[in-house]
Amino acid sequence: MFKIFLLGVLLTAFSLLHKEPTIPLMADPILFAGKFYRVALPSIGADLAKIIEAAKLAGFSVRIAQGSTVTYFLGTQPCLDCTPENERERLKFPHLFVDGRLVWLRAEGLLSKYNLRPAQNEGYELIIAPATTVSASAILDEIGQRLVQLSVVSDPTLPLTVEELTVVPGVKPPKPPEGVRLDSVLYALMLMPDWYEFAPQNTLELWGLRVRVIVEFVSPDAQVAPTHNLIIEARSPSGLMRVLVPIHQLVTLARDPAVKLVRPPAQPGL
């Protein structure tokens, strides 16, 4: 009996020592053409001057906003007749939009189109639209190398944690969360893979990284927190304010206790 017991112990030990290695499931996921994916980036390069110069040399259309003042470049050449009214026609893809310390990059490689933009919960997010079905590592390696060239990141190794987006064109977006007093179309804009394409299809007016909205206040003398980074265009005695708000901060603005509703203007430009 003791010999049988000892044999069992030895066999168990042998199996533990020679156990097949465990390979993490989907360590390098496959990204499918026709879908959209998100990769969270905690930060990007802090030297905006380098990013802007690299984008110019790479032939990007560049829009630089400091407050309400905007300057434009088509590659390395200033676009002196570009204005917020005609920029959609003049600024050809790929794009770099800069607003203060905020950056929004729209570009493409051989394997995908992608948006690098501010995320709702701080940091940045990379939104990827694969051109072909391929591994995440292949796409992220291509994008990482390009972002290094553009001085956006210093390390081409991007996080391999990829999330498939469920709010995409053609799919009904969810309603704003409880307590977020935000028009449903504006909420959809914030979640969509490409703000630039979604906005004109839904009569929303983009201003670089911002969107023009009407803020309805709970009372005529109510004030919003200064941290919302708004450009105020007009305010009425009745408690309405037209502002340009960073798209990724729409939910934060709509949660402000002073706000009754954030909605698009009734007519473009108003």
Domains of the chain, first to last: 30-164 (no CATH), 184-263 (3.30.70)
Q: b vs e for 7-37, b when ≥16 Cβ sit within 10 Å of the residue's Cβ?
A: eeeeeeeeeeeeeeeeeeeeeeeebeeeebb
Worst-scoring range by mean pLDDT, 19-28, 57-66, 141-150, 205-214?
19-28
The pLDDT value given to residue 153: 95
Q: How does pLDDT run across 81-122, given as a tens digit for each residue?
A: 999 999 999 999 999 999 999 999 999 999 999 999 999 988
Averaged pLDDT, 215-223: 91
Tracing tokens 């995409």 back to the chain, one arrives at 168
Q: Is 242 exposed, middle or buried (0-12, 13-18, 19+ CB in 10 A)?
A: middle
The pLDDT value given to residue 267: 63
Averaged pLDDT, 243-257: 96
pLDDT-based confidence at residue 242 (cuts at 50, 70, 90): very high
Averaged pLDDT, 131-137: 97
Partnered with residue 40 across adjacent β-strands are 125
Tracing tokens 């003791």 back to the chain, one arrives at 2
Contact (CB, 8 A) for 42 and 36 = no
**pTM, whole model, 2 decimals?**
0.87
pLDDT at 4 over 70: no
